[in-house]
Structure 1
Amino acid sequence: MAADPVSTPSYTGMIIERNVEIVTRDGTTLRGDVFRPDTDEALPVIMSMTAYQKDMPWRPWEGIDALPTENQNWETPNPDRWVPYGYVIVRVDTRGTGQSPGIFEPLSAREAEDFYDAIEWAGDQSWSNGNVGLSGISYMAINQWRVASLQPPSLRAIIPWEGFSDQYRDGVFQGGILSYAFLVNWYNGVMYDNILRGWDNNDPDAFGNSFLFELMRHRLDGPFWEARRPIWEDLTVPVLSAGNWTGFYGAQHFRGNTEGYKLAASEHRYLRIHTGGHQDAFYSEEGFQTQLAFFDHWLKGHDTGLLDEPPVRLAIRRSVADPADFEWRSENEWPIARTDYQRLHLTSDGGLSPSAPGRTGRVDYMSPAIDQHDEIIPAGMAAFVSEPFEAETEITGEIMAGLWVSTSRDDMNIHADLYIVHPDGTEERLTRGRLRASQRRLDPEMSTPSRPWLAHDRIEPLVAGEVYPVEFEIWPTSMIFSPGSRVKLVIASGAYHTRTWDRQEPEATNTIHVGGDYPSFIQLPIIPSQ
């Protein structure tokens, strides 16, 4: 979408109300801050529910195009930017964090109910016109998906900006493999900020729960995770899903934005995929104008031209290292309908070939794959590289891998990373896929020809030495491959951010079988030149 906003910064003066009490359905009192124009006019509300303490200021670091004001808070809309345009900004501490009492239950069904109640409270205030929108990055994007599917009557639109939507698949158990380092570091960081960092906290005992245990205890998908994900058929409000091709944290959330766009039942849904750091685009002038046009349309009823624009806007990259090296392009759908899916077959000599080898071969690699310096050792990975592209080639969309594998133990972790190798030999990682082989069963109803969907509903151990076919998704990407550049696929048994090297004990030989009866491949989305 590339609509134009209508609102102008015509409101002067700001009224700030801190620690306003919001009573939830079970009698718990949450506390929020309200930033509104100094006017008697009833105006639309943009709300965020944060786990990162609404009172803790954040000064954007160099390079982020954000207003460094005292009201700026981590990964939430800046009141000093929005209020002059005629919007009320409301930030609420989620239960058990900051000034809100209770036990911290991150991204739970209870938190979604609290969010619902806060939305309805905001819609009923004298300074509100009854239209509430949601916005925020990361945590403040994730919790939008679930509450929107509960259909609060005052909720009109949401902007989940770089936030996963399926907590099991996108965040905690990617491919069935626990995202250990990300999960533990995140939770302990939030606990540290609330208890020890020095900002007032209503109840430091709020973290005395079994959150991490409960996540690890439920290693398979099921009712526990179902209660934490959106009810997709009930998510009918307009949604602008904003994803990021790049960055550790941006990429960590990315699948949620593309799948959320596909699965939401909203008649009016939009997808934009940008580049750069996790906060960069949200606070950029371009990002602000995009959000303003969306909310001007759905919260104020202005004709911004939104309905005349294609629903998908993609940053088509030429580089990972340079986030500015891209061109915007609009599309009518995601995945792109004109995609030409092409397979490259793995070969025993480390190649990627358009045709499957006629003779059977094998490539062995060891587990564990990580040394004491958190680096993948050569013996712990298998690399496959294509021939150079003869002409400029665009790869944009969903990717999948189909492998035939075996191991000397009863399970194996598969970490598949896709790279571009530039003509000068430099390499840049584009995207990744993950699979715990004992959770290889697919859900045929959710799978598509370009994106397998793992059911994650049972553990099926492997028999040592027996060969098994597995299919799994490699998360979408976009890149222009110049003539002379190549595709590289690296497969390993571990990666630092999942810390899976201490899970496949003590050592194992993992094997990828290729050629003949085992035509292992990756499938790439080639976009024909227009």
Structure 2
Amino acid sequence: MSALPNRMPLSSPRASTAADIFHIGNVSASFTSATSSHLAEANPTPFNQTSKVLAKGSYPVSKLYPPLPCDILFESDVAVELRDGTFIYTDIYRPANTTNLTSPIPAIVAYSPYGKRGGFFNYDIFQPPNAIERMDVKYEWVSGLEKFEGPNPAYWLNKGYAVIHPDPRGVFNSEGDILMFGQQDARDGYDLIEWVAARSWSNGKVGMTGNSWLTVAQWWIASERPPHLAAIAPWEGWSDFYEDLVFRGGIPNFPFVDVLVTHLYGNGSNKIENISEMMSHAPRINDYWLDKAAKIENIDENLPVYAVGSWTNALHTLGTFQAWERLRTSNKWLRTHTTHEWHDYYTPTHVADLHKFFEKYLNNVDNDWETTPRVRLSLLNPGHDNIIDQPETKFPLSRQKIHRYYLDASTTSMSPSAPSTVSSATYNSTDNGTISFRMKFEHATDFVGYATVRLWVQAPDHNDMDLFCYLQKSNATTSKVIPILVLGSDTYVGAQGRVRVSLRDHRKPGTNGIYQYVNDEPSFLNENEIVPVDIPFWPTAIHYEAGEELTLLIQGWNSQKQPEFQNLGQPSIKNVGRHTFYTGDGYKSYVEIPQVIPAK
């Protein structure tokens, strides 16, 4: 792309030149009016194409944050022309001494639609009783200049980097309509990366980092292979919007989607993809939803990737690990943690670790980053201290062995031997009933990776059932489930699998739990019909001491909460009346667990 002037006039959207975002393959995408950025809740900032220096030692946002460690040149609302003629606007932070640069610098892009400044989402809105205060993102770790879930400009500029904060297509003053991922958004990101690399102050190397949506954007944009994208650091984010979030296990999840869409802001006259409408009227896999699954295999096989994931994330766990496994690059590293995504992202030691990665691949510094363990595994250990940064060579672990434990409804137990006698257990789904099966480990063991459960089920009062299964750890003496705490909150209740039974043949787990869509028609239950259903769990890593128990909890409702949105509603559940589970001869029900001998 040719270099553009740094200043362009604000224009209205030009439908005649814009890309066709209203048709994805053979599907018409639904759009609705975007929430106006003129609302007070959007915390709007005036459109102002200017530049100014934020002085070292000053407090540009609030004295709650540390003073700036260096002079910062802040350029606001810089115009970027995309390949279809649409203009988006970005803020640029770079060291003030780079105006007459003799040594060009790398740039880090934080790509998301939450607002380059302003926006609804910020850490201060997360407060008790519905969240942990600021999700333990300490004021001294940030500057207030950072995008929500993005890198702190004050830190990175002090290290000699530029930080780029775009408002993507349709967001705030950027032209067009707001997109929710997909190839068009990825192409827009490609154009931005190449525009940044062409700046006079740039060394031609652009990196990306950030959490959640900013991670999702990295999967998509990297799959388009921008030539000047030199490294990415995806810090927890889904990679298949359909399976990871909106229809996990076939069960629609409207509450989070509605919170997300209604808090993305346009210019007052444009539109945003109507995800809820698409969920209601096009719930089965089609071209629209396939466009919202990142093409991980397309990412350059030489692109350095430093990925971070956790087991306790209610949104991002599966997508993060599946994306990392599918990456073809040999230059990939994975670190797992046991806290919360935002807390982990801004923890100073982790920021320093990311700096070392970017120094290697954006500044060509010989710093031995490549000797970093390819996988740093952290294991949950409820009731004891978690195990942090255990070095491994790959994930899933090559030394894992799959152990099968059979369920016995007559004793609500599990064991390596299948019961011969048929038995059943029932709960009332209308009354939030549950069933638990337990098994004691005789020796210490680590449960690491993807588990599955096969159940034989019946819904005597209905033609469908929604099932939620959890794998937990119980006390050796009381058999009471030990809470797994995330920043002191027990919102994570164990590895979860869920399924709408009528969609049991809609998708099956493939290699390492990666889903394959095989059928798009529901198979409703006939009266008194007993059917097998296989339910994959999201990956986890939990350490069990000798005598501690593995507990399988089965119920008809979701008890895992998002620690940052603890008051969100339930997915759209279809349960009515009794759920019955059969075990024994002819109905062999079991859970399969990947186990390893604990590292010394």
TM-score, length-scaled by structure 1: 0.87
* Distance in 1 of aligned mates of 2:376 and 2:174: 38
Q: 1:266 aligns with which of 329, 333, 356?
A: 329
- Deviation of the 1:430 alpha carbon: 2.0
* Distance in 1 of aligned mates of 2:271 and 2:218: 22
Answer whether contact 1:28 1:101 (CA < 8 A) is retained: yes
Answer whether contact 2:430 2:578 (CA < 8 A) is retained: no
- Alignment match, 1:392: 444
Q: 1:434 aligns with which of 488, 498, 508?
A: 498
- Deviation of the 1:291 alpha carbon: 1.2
- Alignment match, 1:311: 374
- Alignment match, 2:392: 331
Q: 1:123 aligns with which of 197, 203, 211?
A: 197
Query: Are residues 1:457 and 2:519 paired?
Result: yes
- Alignment match, 2:71: 13
Q: 1:351-390 counterparts in 2 under 5 A?
A: 351-368=413-430, 377=432, 380-387=433-440, 389-390=441-442
- Deviation of the 1:443 alpha carbon: 6.0
- Alignment match, 1:405: 457
- Letter aligned with residue 276 of structure 1: T
User: What SS does the aligned partner of 1:121 have?
Assistant: helix
* Distance in 2 of aligned mates of 1:397 and 1:208: 37
Distance 1:520 1:454, change over 3 A: farther
Query: Are residues 1:64 and 2:117 paired?
Result: no
User: What SS does the aligned partner of 1:368 have?
Assistant: helix
User: What SS does the aligned partner of 1:187 have?
Assistant: helix
Query: Are residues 1:346 and 2:402 paired?
Result: no
* Distance in 2 of aligned mates of 1:226 and 1:97: 24
Query: Are residues 1:81 and 2:151 paired?
Result: no
Answer whether contact 1:439 1:454 (CA < 8 A) is retained: no
- Letter aligned with residue 466 of structure 2: N
User: What SS does the aligned partner of 2:316 have?
Assistant: helix
- Letter aligned with residue 417 of structure 1: Y
* Distance in 1 of aligned mates of 2:136 and 2:118: 21
Distance 1:206 1:328, change over 3 A: same
- Deviation of the 1:115 alpha carbon: 1.1
* Distance in 1 of aligned mates of 2:442 and 2:308: 33
TM-score, length-scaled by structure 2: 0.77
Query: Are residues 1:34 and 2:92 paired?
Result: yes
* Distance in 1 of aligned mates of 2:569 and 2:144: 38
Cα deviation code 1:495-525 (max 9, x no counterpart) = 26696686426x2322221111111111112
- Letter aligned with residue 393 of structure 2: N
Query: Are residues 1:489 and 2:563 paired?
Result: no
User: What SS does the aligned partner of 1:295 have?
Assistant: helix
Distance 1:205 1:492, change over 3 A: farther
User: What SS does the aligned partner of 1:298 have?
Assistant: helix
Query: Are residues 1:510 and 2:579 paired?
Result: yes
- Alignment match, 1:7: none
Distance 1:515 1:419, change over 3 A: same
Answer whether contact 2:105 2:162 (CA < 8 A) is retained: yes
Answer whether contact 1:439 1:456 (CA < 8 A) is retained: no
* Distance in 1 of aligned mates of 2:87 and 2:235: 27
Query: Are residues 1:475 and 2:538 paired?
Result: yes
Query: Are residues 1:217 and 2:270 paired?
Result: no
- Between 1:135-144 and 1:488-497, the stretch displaced more is 488-497
Cα deviation code 1:321-347 (max 9, x no counterpart) = x8x733211111110011121122211
* Distance in 2 of aligned mates of 1:430 and 1:523: 15
User: What SS does the aligned partner of 2:367 have?
Assistant: coil
Q: Unmatched 5+ residue regions in structure 2?
A: 1-68, 125-133, 484-492, 562-567
* Distance in 1 of aligned mates of 2:571 and 2:170: 34
Cα deviation code 1:251-271 (max 9, x no counterpart) = 320101110011122221222
* Distance in 2 of aligned mates of 1:296 and 1:127: 17
Answer whether contact 1:142 1:165 (CA < 8 A) is retained: yes
- Letter aligned with residue 504 of structure 1: K
Q: 1:85-234 counterparts in 2 under 5 A?
A: 85-188=159-262, 190-191=263-264, 194=265, 203-207=267-271, 210-234=274-298
Distance 1:24 1:407, change over 3 A: same
* Distance in 1 of aligned mates of 2:211 and 2:177: 23
- Letter aligned with residue 480 of structure 1: H
Could you tell me the percent identity over the aligned residues?
A: 27
Q: Unmatched 5+ residue regions in structure 1?
A: 1-10, 195-201, 370-376
Q: 2:591 aligns with which of 518, 522, 525?
A: 522
User: What SS does the aligned partner of 1:205 have?
Assistant: coil
- Alignment match, 2:107: 45
> If you compute each CA radius of gyration, which structure gives the higher value, 1 or 2?
2
- Deviation of the 1:410 alpha carbon: 2.3
* Distance in 1 of aligned mates of 2:349 and 2:208: 19
- Deviation of the 1:432 alpha carbon: 0.5
Query: Are residues 1:242 and 2:308 paired?
Result: yes
Answer whether contact 2:451 2:593 (CA < 8 A) is retained: yes
* Distance in 2 of aligned mates of 1:336 and 1:325: 18
Answer whether contact 1:138 1:161 (CA < 8 A) is retained: yes
* Distance in 2 of aligned mates of 1:17 and 1:452: 43
Distance 1:473 1:83, change over 3 A: same
Distance 1:216 1:331, change over 3 A: farther
Q: 1:415 aligns with which of 468, 474, 477?
A: 468
User: What SS does the aligned partner of 2:270 have?
Assistant: helix
User: What SS does the aligned partner of 1:441 have?
Assistant: coil
Q: 1:255 aligns with which of 313, 318, 323?
A: 318
* RMSD, aligned α-carbons: 2.4
* Distance in 2 of aligned mates of 1:454 and 1:230: 14
User: What SS does the aligned partner of 1:416 have?
Assistant: strand
* Distance in 2 of aligned mates of 1:333 and 1:90: 33
* Distance in 2 of aligned mates of 1:172 and 1:113: 23
Distance 1:221 1:208, change over 3 A: closer
- Between 1:58-67 and 1:142-151, the stretch displaced more is 58-67
Answer whether contact 2:105 2:202 (CA < 8 A) is retained: yes
Answer whether contact 1:170 1:253 (CA < 8 A) is retained: yes
* Distance in 1 of aligned mates of 2:259 and 2:117: 22
Cα deviation code 1:285-341 (max 9, x no counterpart) = 121122112211221122232323331111122238x8x733211111110011121
Cα deviation code 1:360-403 (max 9, x no counterpart) = 1112222335xxxxxxx3xx22221223x333222111111112
- Letter aligned with residue 14 of structure 1: I
Query: Are residues 1:23 and 2:85 paired?
Result: no
Distance 1:501 1:285, change over 3 A: closer
- Deviation of the 1:12 alpha carbon: 4.2
Answer whether contact 1:220 1:456 (CA < 8 A) is retained: no
